[in-house]
């Protein structure tokens, strides 16, 4: 019987079917961070339960840690230092690998894990963070969990999971000039709604997906959760294998050969059936930006704020009206040319080296518009180091951007900072919820290149005019 990629991974990790219809699934890797990791580890220790396989558990300082130059354990988050100290102590006690504040491999969990080869095709990986789905870009089954589930995974290497349905999203054709993976996923969410993927594991397919590099696939899968999906997947191909080769935690020698043979079996069989299929013609995707207070409120950057659909339900009408009011926009308002006060490049969605390279291409020889607060936060210390080796930091700084240490930062003012009251921000992050980046901050999601273009223009701009 032909099976999907998800079904192959699921069956490979199935320990037992449970009476309530759920299943007990074997967990290969657990990743923690300081915002929630110490809670799970301390709770285990209090119950005198050990971490059963500490060599398969990793932790990083990313959410609460400052990204300001010269940072240490002190942070602008109230009691933030306590979280950092507690996490460090708990990791030492549990004998698990910690990428500490000053570690040369520190960074955002979903950036660190792939770049070190911790996540691998066909593996199961969980983390108390909703954007763990990012790592499905390498053909792993990766999803976010709560702290209590983290405890269970740490103590037993298993989790109770209700089996999700399967969805295939085909991105057909080639991407147009200036169009990125961020534009693809925003287009999908806008077309089918923020709840369009609820209850599904999504496999991203099609010529456009195959054409993406691994870092772009990480962006695509990162926002599967904003589509309400259980997780996102891309079948591992030669690009994935080449990406992982030689990375610190990737298999070596004979184990590498064995692993590659297994990874090459991880694809959806020709006649496998999905519960739902969505086809998208990439010819219809341009540089995309959000206008409202949800990722589903997205449209082409050269379009106008949409009107309420005449067939909308009462709840949909209320949600749209709230979005207009919160964002200070009216239906029919052109987005291009809308003045902004800040620009942010960072987060687990778009802070990798390829993201910074493209943003730097836009910024080269240009200056941030007066009055725009522009910040760039690399996704990991490794990314920061690589970018500096290429001179990208100088391009950002010369243009007028702040160049920060690695971490989550202003994605949700995790480090205790925020943008100004009702400030309009163009941001490469994954959520534009109300007050996400500061008090009533008006956040517009976009690709890093679009963020850079907007910073230069001082308003929402079409990146194609700057490439």
Kindly report the backbone phi and psi dihedral angles of residue 39, in degrees, each rounded to the nearest multiple of 5, phi listed first: -60, -50
Same fold, 5-161 and 308-465: yes
pLDDT score recorded for residue 76? 87
CA distances from 170 to 101, 143, 173 (A): 40, 21, 9
pLDDT score recorded for residue 33? 96
Give the single-character DSSP code of 193. -
Dihedral sign from CA coordinates of 244, 249, 254, 260 = negative
Dihedral sign from CA coordinates of 335, 338, 341, 342 = positive
pLDDT score recorded for residue 415? 66
Q: Which residues contact 169 (CB under 8 A, 6 or more apart)?
A: 188, 202, 203, 204, 205, 206, 277, 278, 280
pLDDT score recorded for residue 413? 73
The pTM of this model reads: 0.97
Residue 458: exposed, middle, or buried by beta-carbon count in 10 A (0-12, 13-18, 19+)?
Answer: middle
Dihedral sign from CA coordinates of 105, 111, 113, 119 = negative
pLDDT score recorded for residue 1? 87
pLDDT score recorded for residue 38? 87
pLDDT score recorded for residue 331? 98
- Domain 5-161 sits in CATH at 3.30.499.10
CA distance 426 to 209: 25
Quote the tokens at residue 294: 């949800």
**CATH superfamily of the 308-465 domain:** Aconitase, domain 3 (3.30.499.10)
Residues of the chain with pLDDT under 50: none
> Would you kindly state where each structural domain of the chain is located, as residue ranges?
5-161, 165-240+254-284, 308-465
pLDDT score recorded for residue 414? 63
Q: Chain-wide mean pLDDT for the chain?
A: 97
CA distance 447 to 282: 16
pLDDT score recorded for residue 267? 98
pLDDT score recorded for residue 27? 98
pLDDT score recorded for residue 15? 98
CA distance 98 to 90: 10
Check: CATH 1.10.40.30 for 165-240+254-284?
Answer: no
CA distance 369 to 413: 23
Give the single-character DSSP code of 459. B
């Amino acid at each position: 019987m032909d099976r999907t990629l998800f079904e192959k991974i699921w069956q490979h990790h199935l320990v037992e079917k449970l009476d309530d219809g759920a299943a007990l699934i074997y967990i290969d890797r657990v990743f923690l961070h300081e915002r929630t990791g110490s809670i799970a580890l301390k709770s285990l220790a209090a119950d005198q339960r050990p971490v059963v396989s500490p060599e398969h558990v990793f932790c990083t300082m990313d959410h609460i840690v400052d990204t300001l130059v010269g940072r240490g354990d002190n942070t602008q988050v109230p009691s933030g230092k306590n979280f950092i100290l507690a996490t460090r102590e708990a990791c030492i006690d549990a004998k698990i690998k910690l990428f500490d504040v000053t570690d040369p491999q520190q960074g955002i969990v979903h950036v660190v894990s792939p770049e070190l080869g911790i996540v691998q095709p066909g593996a199961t990986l969980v983390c108390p963070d909703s954007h763990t789905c990012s790592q499905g870009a390498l053909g792993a089954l990766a999803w976010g969990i709560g702290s209590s589930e983290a405890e269970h995974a740490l103590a037993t290497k298993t989790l109770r999971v209700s089996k999700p349905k399967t969805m295939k999203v085909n991105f057909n054709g080639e991407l147009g000039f200036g169009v990125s993976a961020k534009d693809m996923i925003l287009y999908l969410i806008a077309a089918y709604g923020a709840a369009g993927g609820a209850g599904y594991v999504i496999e991203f397919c099609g010529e456009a997906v195959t054409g993406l590099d691994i870092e772009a696939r990480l962006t695509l899968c990162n926002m599967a959760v904003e589509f309400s999906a259980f997780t996102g997947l891309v079948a591992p191909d030669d690009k994935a294998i080449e990406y992982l080769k030689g990375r610190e935690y990737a298999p070596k020698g004979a184990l590498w050969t064995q692993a590659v043979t297994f990874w090459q079996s991880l694809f959806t069989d020709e006649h496998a059936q999905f519960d739902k299929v969505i086809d998208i013609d990439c010819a219809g995707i341009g540089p995309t930006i959000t206008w409202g207070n949800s990722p589903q409120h997205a449209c082409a950057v050269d379009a106008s704020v949409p009107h309420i659909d005449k067939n909308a339900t009462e709840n949909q009408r209320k949600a749209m009206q709230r979005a207009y009011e919160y964002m200070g926009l009216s239906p029919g308002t052109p987005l291009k040319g809308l003045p902004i006060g800040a620009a942010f490049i960072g987060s687990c969605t778009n802070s990798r080296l390829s993201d910074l390279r493209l943003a730097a291409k836009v910024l080269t020889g240009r200056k941030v518009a007066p009055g725009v607060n522009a910040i760039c936060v690399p996704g990991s210390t490794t990314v920061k180091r690589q970018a500096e080796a290429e001179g990208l930091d100088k391009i950002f700084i010369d243009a007028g951007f702040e160049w920060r240490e690695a971490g989550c930062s202003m994605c949700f003012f995790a480090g205790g900072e925020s943008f100004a009251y009702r400030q309009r921000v163009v941001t490469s992050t994954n959520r534009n919820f109300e007050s996400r980046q500061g008090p009533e901050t008006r956040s517009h999601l976009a690709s890093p290149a679009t963020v850079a273009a907007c910073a230069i223009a001082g308003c929402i701009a079409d990146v194609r005019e700057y490439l």
